[in-house]
Structure 1
Amino acid sequence: MHAPVTRRPNTVAAIVRTAALALLAALAVAGLSAGPARAQDGDVAWTVRTASNSYGDDRSSFSYAANPGGQVEDTMIVANRGKDPLDLAVYAADGFTTGTGQLDLLPKGGKSVGIGAWVRVGHDRVTVEPGRTAELPFTVSVPDNATPGDYVGGILTSLTQPDDTEGITVDRRLGIRVKLRVSGELKPGLAVENLSVDYDGPGNPFATGDATVSYRIHNTGNAILSARQTVSVSGPFGWLRTQAGTIASPPDLLPGESWKVTVPVHGVAPAVRLTATATVTPLLTDASGSTTSLRTIRATARGQAVPWTLALLVAVLIAVATGAFLLARRTRARRRLREEARVRDAVEQALLDQGTRAG
């Protein structure tokens, strides 16, 4: 998660410290075990959890299904494990997938259009005494014109503290993920875009090289999707096909999000003309946790795999053969011209001899 930080120049240690805190908050929002957040002196700590109610007990996150125009009511519990009172800001924000594949939430004041705009918490701030807990009831109000599909965000508690030693203001955030599926026609879909293949071969024209296949997976539907992927590279007519190794699955992509994939393929023959094939099977997970494989998508792209040393050798041989051919043709032409001149001289001499005898 992105925490707003104000710092003075030349505070490298502060930057590293802030990055670590941001990672801690991101893990908490993603529903992983991050533990309570602690102040620098270790005296302040708090945790957040879901309330036990008709939606279930010991939930790791909030998950709902609702109709357009519908409402959902639930509660988040905040516990102060420290020795001092806590004054926390409370707000909701939309989620997004980071470049490392983790779920993150927009910072406070960010432009939310889904969960962050639809969730209303009873209080925008809460004070929790040491050793006590506080309930934070909230309501998810789905607009009448909400588009069917999946939405992800979170409810956050935030503690802003100055760090006089480092000269910065640190914003620690702990939150719980909120996933909402708005009823209506579910249209899951993935696209494979910008597929390309590059080849890097050794100097030995008879040895294999490495290809790199790159593409982008784009969630074009309205459901959260992951995918199973395979990649292969082949020569003309599908000959000399080489399969890539195991490819890590992309993270769960929210509707509209993209994920760049780069796959190395080793042992590729320099077949002059290469064809890369990416096969992607979208994976849809329902509310019960069951995963369904959707229709497989295949995309291809072509590239060059020219063994340049062999090509140079062939070019030299062609040049030598061409030179030899031209030299032989020139030699034959000169020989023919000499023969024609000899015949012409012989004819002229014979005519002269005949004229002399006639006189």
Structure 2
Amino acid sequence: MRSDRPPGRRPGTARALAAVLLAVLLTALLPGAPPAAGASGSGAGSSGAGTGGGSWSVRPAGAADRAAFVMDCAPGTAVKDAVRVSNLSGAPLSFQVYGSDAYNTPRDGALAYRQAGEAQTGLGSWLALGTNALVIPPGRAADIPFTLNVPADATPGSHVGGVVALNNAVEQAGQAAGVDVGIQRAIAVRIQLTVEGPLTPGLAVRSVTVRHRPEGAPFAGARATLTYTVVNTGNAALRPTVSPRVRGLFGLRRSAFADRTLPLLLPGQSADVSADWPDAPGVDYLTASVRVRAPGLPATTAQSGRLAVSWPTLGVVAGLLGSLAVLLGRLRRTRSGATSRAGARS
């Protein structure tokens, strides 16, 4: 049987290898199943009343259902109330009590209070306590009266601080570098004051960024972290709810993080938030968006994009493309030669 194929030329084999390389290439580049929704934990905010390891507690005096002091008044007003410190243990406890400014910690915006030795420039400086030190017998409680003197030039909107009770007892917490480490526990009862005047609530999202960390193996996945900053741009304290999302090119890959509500965000304060995507693609163009909203406010959204690159994966893909180009070139030359020989015979 005569064959027109030149020795060593097997176009069928070349076609098969080209098809295999093309299939591998497409498998590497096409998206897999979308990752499961995930949420990173939110920072813990102050809840108002609380207990110190079960041995003592602090809460507003009077009605048992009050967890915090919530006040509305005009500038120049003096408001009187009291905080109750209870000794739930079987031994006397000694406390230092003081007024404090509240602020949001940079990470996750947790509500925190300034220490006694720090300068109090806001609501903490407006508080006058009936006493700053007390010893409470076991099983007893003490009500500490205070007066909140709102300055005549206080700006309208939210002002947040608290009454802090610091247990003078030092608890041993182990050693660090050969030195004994002790801790003191403190509880703050929140005071949330709204000064009369125009309220202009506002929220913004800034610095939306995707950090991409690919695995070292080709075609392996990656870990990505979405970071962003939520800013309270108005004069009212708000609890923002954020909806972060990341999607790949043409929306083929999506990560839907769970919505989360941030701690109480004070005017002029911000919260740096992050969310992990453990099953991110090794190679893709990722677009991240964060939508933030709060009751009574229209939602606002910010987004950014970046090219996610895995160099091992790109190296293998480049090799596959090069091999595919060589095979296709050989196949083209084989077909061209066969056509020429067929024309010469005719």
Q: TM-score, normalised by structure 2?
A: 0.65
1:210 touches 1:264 (CA, 8 Å); kept in 2? Answer: yes
**Once the 2 structures are TM-superposed, how far is the Cα of residue 117 of structure 1 from its aligned partner?**
0.6
Q: Quick check: 1:308 aligned with 2:314?
A: yes
Could you tell me which residue of structure 1 aligns to residue 243 of structure 2? 230
Alignment pair present for 1:122 and 2:125: no
Tell me which of 151, 159, 171 is aligned to 1:151: 159
Counterpart secondary structure, 2:239: strand
CA separation of 1:138/1:220 partners in 2, compared to 1, >3 Å: closer, same or farther? same
In 2 relative to 1, CA 49–28 (structure 1 residues): closer, same or farther, beyond 3 Å? farther
User: Would the aligned equivalents of 1:66 and 1:182 in 2 still touch at CA under 8 Å?
Assistant: yes
Aligned pairs (5 A) from 1:285-324: 292-306=295-309, 308-309=314-315, 311-313=317-319, 316=322
| 1:78 matched to 2:109 | no
Separation (CA, whole Å) in 2 of partners of 1:164 and 1:49:
26
Q: Supply the AA of the counterpart residue of 1:298.
A: T
Give the C-alpha shift of residue 241 in structure 1. Answer: 5.1
- Shift of residue 126 of structure 1? 3.1
- Equivalence for 2:40: none
Q: Alignment partner of 1:302: what SS? A: strand
From the superposition, tell whether residues 213 and 160 of structure 1 become closer, same or farther in structure 2 (CA, over 3 Å). Answer: closer
Specify the SS of the correspondent of 1:157: strand
Matched, 1:58 2:65: yes
Q: In the alignment, what sits opposite 2:234?
A: 221
Instruction: Write the letter of the residue equivalent to 2:81.
Output: D
Is this contact kept in 2: 1:148–1:186, CA < 8 A? Answer: yes
- The residue correspondences of 1:329-340 to structure 2 (distance < 5 A) are none
The question of whether the paired residues in 2 share the 8 Å contact of 1:92 and 1:154 is answered with yes
Q: Which residue in 2 is equivalent to 1:94?
A: 101
% identity of equivalent residues:
32
Separation of aligned partners in 2, 1:208 and 1:135: 59
Alpha-carbon RMSD across the aligned residues, in angstroms, is 3.8
Aligned length: 277
Q: Which runs of 5+ in 1 are unaligned?
A: 1-26, 39-45, 284-291, 325-359
Question: Structure 1 residues 304, 318: CA separation in 2 closer, same or farther (over 3 Å shift)?
Answer: farther
Measured against aligned partners, the alpha-carbon deviations of 1:3-39 in whole angstroms (never above 9, x if no partner) come to xxxxxxxxxxxxxxxxxxxxxxxx996335535664x
Counterpart of 2:48, as a letter, is G
Q: Which of 286, 289, 296 does residue 274 from structure 1 map onto?
A: 286
Specify the structure having the higher radius of gyration (Cα): 1
**Pair 1:158–1:269, CA change in 2 (3 A):** closer
Judged with a 3 Å threshold, the aligned counterparts in structure 2 of structure 1 residues 200 and 35 are, in CA distance, closer, same or farther, namely closer
Q: Secondary structure at the match of 2:260?
A: coil
1:191 Cα offset (Å): 1.8
Change (3 A) 1:242 1:186: same
Structure of higher RCO (CA pairs closer than 8 Å, 6+ residues apart): 2
- 2:195 paired with 1:192: no
Q: Give 3-state SS (helix, strand or coil) of 1:117's partner.
A: helix
- Shift in alpha-carbon separation, 1:28–1:59, aligned structure 2, 3 A: farther
Matched residue type, 2:306: G
